[in-house]
Amino acid sequence: MFDQTVWLAAKATSYVVVCAECAAEHGIYGARVEGRLDLARDHTATCCSRGHPISVVRGSRKRARLVLQ
């Protein structure tokens, strides 16, 4: 089993990723996962169409401000 964590930019609200476990088992086609994370939330959990768990975490807004300065 893969530990799948997707890190989003501080102001990102949507994502498209490849499920690594599906890609390893069945090839990259059909392994696509799409979703949204509202700005008010910092994390969520989802699953691909085959049920593999994927964590989605927003990067630190504080860290993003430090980089921009």
Task: Note the pLDDT tens digit of each residue in 20-56.
Answer: 999 998 887 778 999 999 999 999 999 999 999 999 9
Q: Name the pLDDT band for 69 (thresholds 50, 70, 90).
A: very low
User: pLDDT at position 26, please?
Assistant: 87
Overall number of domains in the chain: 1
User: pLDDT at position 50, please?
Assistant: 92
Are residues 58 and 14 in contact, defined by beta-carbon separation less than 8 angstroms? no
**Token code pair at residue 43:** 């994390």
* Residue with token string 């008010």: 40
Residue 63 CB-density burial (10 A; 0-12 exposed, 13-18 middle, 19+ buried): exposed
Residue 17's domain comprises 5-68
